[in-house]
Chains A and B, each alone.
Chain A
Amino acid sequence: MEIEQLEIHDFLLLCHPLNQLSSDELKELAENIEITYFSRNQTVLEPGQHNEWLYLIRSGAVTRTDHNDGLVAQFGQKDFFGHRAIERGGIIKNRVSTIEDSLFYLIPKARYRKLMENNQAFNQYFSQQKHERLKSALQLLRSPPENSLIKSKAADFMHQEVLTLQQQDSIADAALQMKNSHQTAALVIDETGIKGIVTDRLFCTKVVAMGLDTQQPIASVMTPEPISIDRRHSGLEAMLLMTRMNIRHLPVVEDGQLLGMVTATDLMHHQSHNPIYLVNQIHKSQSLSQLPQLSQQLPVVLTKQVDAGLNASDIAYSISSIGRAFASKVIELCVRELGPAPVPFAYMVAGSLARNDQTAHSDQDNGLLLSDQFDASLHGEYFAQLSEQVSEHLNRCGYVFCPGDVMASNPKWRQPLAQWQHYFDGWINSPEPKALMYSSIFFDLRCVYGDQSLFDQLQQHIRELTRNNRLFLAFMAANAQQNKPPLGLFRRFVLEQHGAEHKTLDIKKRGIMPCTDIARVFALDAGTEVINTLERIKRASESGVISNEAAVDLRDSFELLSLIRLQHQVRNIKRGQEANNYINPDELSSLERRHLKDAFELIRTYQDVVTQKYNQGQLG
């Protein structure tokens, strides 16, 4: 039989990991396939019975339910099931039934075993547990670091305004010219080309240290025949050359003619996916009108970091640092315009910016904590103006107004310490749904500007309220159940617990938030004050609140979700759109969909863990 001529063969080629088989292995597999059909709502695998097959869904969909008829997972076209039962010696534990008319390709267990033995990719796919698969997915997803220095040419980032001196110019004159032109180096030239280089260091090491007469010609102290680089050489070569020769200035030439100069600073600036550069620019800026322009760099920084294959958590950290730099700069400049504050205050940011989990421009979530010396009749106007202006300028920088009005410009969130403490008393001691929402916003709080000691007092108060407060923990645990991850992602839709379908996945709400909420509960239980999600997970595991295994599961899930979100946002940016959280399942590969499903399943598991651990007998 010419199995390759059948469409079945083509279909198998589309299914990971079967596409990793050799053509002989695939042919042998195809020839041994048996086909079966189940109309919808039929049981395919019945607990207690025996399974002899690895099932591949050709069309249709199935659900797997546990012994309590709780939905565990759903599978669609190109998904496999049945292998767990084979690994258990054929014993079926969970019921699998069709939710659509379904056609299955059955792979005999002997064939499955043989491939498990002989094909590494096949083995990896079926033997790895969810968390192991996540780990290898993370490695795959992070694209290999692309060093932009390799691709660029030396000429791309040289600066052209090079200060040139004549050999007979005096040392004093050279120093003056360098000072006036803000250059750290100058080249000494004549009509034949470059004769030597003079750097600011030279004035220390030679002129001053050796007590030279500054009226002598510069040629007597210059470094003759300086090392130069051809314009066509790569940026990487320029950097290596500078490192090897321990120099910080490199003239760029073409056929012996001077074109410009590359300095160590130029190279650093060119590495502008290095967000330190942007943060520095923000800190250096002296007017509010400069900031919106700088904020347009943020999507570029994001894109470069994602393309460079960095960790999602590292990227989120730098994007959050940029966000906080904007916030503190805006506040600083507004204070400068309004004059010094009449009483001490602390400007606080909440949410992802505080957690260092921000991945792009997002809403403002902030509040203003005032000293108890605050007197509304005397100082109210000043802080109203300040917070109004801060919000307005942050909005111009792309950190748009918070739709829930959680901003210091709202008088409710612009209060003296005593009132803030009162707020937290209410939220923590009588947690209603609204209170829990505020708790989860203001629990992740960071001071970005102002009087840190004021902020510390508030934190101290919160700490005392929550310490060993099992009831509040139970409420936060219940709150962490609010957003359930979807069951799975099919080609064109997101499958929900109750069979409903959506066109797009809100990855923030359905994946990242639940994970963040879980980590917050564990951190609260562990009594740790760190607020970054990954750090919370780590601390919770260190203090024994969760197992090391759970910590790894949560960390990898969070990292995968964040990475997929980042890659989606970069696709948004590259298409000229605003970065958002709405992923169309179509834009993901079948492998990404599968890994997301693993992550969702793990998160659901830990949501259940949270319920069992903190809500048993406490609510209801």
Chain B
Amino acid sequence: MFFFRDKQQQLLNRALKNRPSGQLKNYLMTPLPDPQQPISKTQFLVLDFETTGLNAQSDHIISMGYTHISDMRIQLKNSLHQLISTDKKLTSESVSIHQITDDQLQQGMAVEEMMNVLLQQMAGKVIIAHHQAIEYQFIQHLSHNLYGHHLPMRMADTLKIEQHRLQRLNLPISVNQLRLFNLRTSYHLPRYHAHNALEDAVATAELFLAQISHRQANGFPLKLKHILS
């Protein structure tokens, strides 16, 4: 945990040297959630990006969806689905996955604006994603490009939470098993068909609630540090 705190502190110190302003300043001045606090008292931002590929250096975000969890309830009213504009042409493959066309993307939000929105939403929250590496890398890449440094962040990953659970139980893990929709089935969550960033964010949020509910079923409340990535 010391390492944890140190790393985030280092990132913060570096960032503050640049005399941040606006949403960035607000984000940096808001304390990160305390790893010792109970999960039930933590506020979460559940985030999903649809991207043109997995490489934050060369690929682009084409849409973003998020929702919030507080008091262990998903707050639909604080949800957003937003197309992100990019000058990069979509490949036919990513078009078929996300069913978004170039024309629609023209009307999307610029990444600078998107980061402003995200900073506002992320302040004081733990960010949850399913397979968080993508969201994490894209955010850090954009932050580096736009602000000249990386961001201190607290993240939790529903995929890792499951991986750890299975490892603790010494159960074998198959590749497909950890996919979002297979995991949902194993927690008896309803089947969703649509595939957009907000739908996925809500689906991830529900999975997260299910994971926490099952882990706390024995009556011991979890702390935030138990689930942070």
Contact = CB atoms under 8 A, between A and B. Distances in A.
A binds B: yes
Interface stretch (B68-76, B152-160, B166-174): B68-76
B81 interface: yes
Interface stretch (B19-27, B120-128, B182-190): B182-190
Contacts of B193: 7
A454 B73 CA distance: 74
Given A1-B81, A59-B189, A103-B189, A31 B76 contact: yes
Contacts of B73: 34-36, 106
B173 to A, nearest CB: 21
A520 interface: no
A277 interface: no
A458 to B, nearest CB: 60
B80 interface: yes
21 contacts: A1-B77, A1-B80, A1-B198, A3-B76, A5-B196, A5-B199, A6-B199, A7-B194, A11-B190, A34-B74, A35-B74, A35-B202, A36-B72, A37-B213, A39-B214, A59-B188, A59-B189, A59-B190, A100-B188, A101-B189, A103-B189
B210 A37 contact: yes
Contacts of A11: 190
A59 to B, nearest CB: 5
Contacts of A32: 76-77
B175 interface: no
Given A101-B187, A101-B210, A103-B206, A34 B194 contact: no
A53 B214 CA distance: 23
Contact of A39 (B79, B80, B81, B217): B217
Interface in B196-215: 196, 198-199, 202, 205-206, 209-210, 213-214
A365 to B, nearest CB: 47
B193 to A, nearest CB: 7
Nearest to B202: A6
Nearest to B78: A1
A6 B214 CA distance: 26
Contacts of A42: 213, 217
A441 B188 CA distance: 47
Given A7-B192, A58-B190, A31 B217 contact: no
A36 B209 contact: yes
A41 B202 CA distance: 24
Contact of B194 (A5, A33, A38, A59): A5
Interface of A is mostly: mixed
Interface of B: 72-77, 79-81, 187-190, 192-194, 196, 198-199, 202, 205-206, 209-210, 213-214, 217
A35 B194 contact: no
A367 interface: no
A2 interface: yes
Contacts of A7: 192-194, 199
Nearest to A59: B190
B206 A35 contact: yes
A402 interface: no
Contacts of A41: 217
Contacts of A1: 76-77, 79-81, 198
A100 B213 CA distance: 13
A139 to B, nearest CB: 34
A188 B209 CA distance: 89
A30 interface: yes
Contacts, number: 75
A38 B189 CA distance: 11
A8 interface: yes
A41 to B, nearest CB: 8
* Residue of A1, A30, A37 contacting most chain B CB atoms (<10 Å): A37
Nearest to B73: A34
A30 B196 CA distance: 18
Interface of A: 1-3, 5-8, 11, 30-39, 41-42, 58-60, 100-101, 103, 106
Nearest to B187: A101
A11 to B, nearest CB: 8
A16 B74 CA distance: 23
A39 B194 CA distance: 25
B81 A2 contact: yes
Given A1-B76, A37-B187, A59-B188, 13 more contacts: A1-B77, A1-B80, A5-B81, A5-B194, A6-B198, A7-B192, A30-B76, A31-B76, A33-B76, A34-B73, A59-B190, A101-B214, A106-B73
A33 B187 CA distance: 21
Nearest to A101: B188
A37 B206 contact: yes
B120 to A, nearest CB: 16
A403 B16 CA distance: 89
B74 A36 contact: yes
Interface centre among A3, A36, A60 (most CB of B within 10 A): A36
B210 A39 contact: yes
A474 B77 CA distance: 58
B202 to A, nearest CB: 7
A58 B209 CA distance: 14
B76 to A, nearest CB: 5
A583 B120 CA distance: 56
A42 B79 CA distance: 28
Contacts of A37: 187, 189, 206, 209-210, 213
Nearest to A6: B199
Given A32-B77, A59-B189, A6 B194 contact: yes
Contacts of A33: 76
A37 B213 CA distance: 7
Residue among A32, A34, A38, A101 with max Cβ neighbours from chain B (10 Å): A34
A59 B189 CA distance: 7
* CB-CB nearest 8 A-B residue pairs: A35-B74, A101-B188, A37-B209, A34-B73, A39-B213, A59-B190, A39-B214, A37-B210
Contacts of B210: 37, 39, 101, 103
A34 B213 contact: no
B189 A35 contact: no
A34 B199 contact: no
A101 B184 CA distance: 11
A493 B206 CA distance: 27
Contacts of B76: 1, 3, 8, 30-35
A25 to B, nearest CB: 16
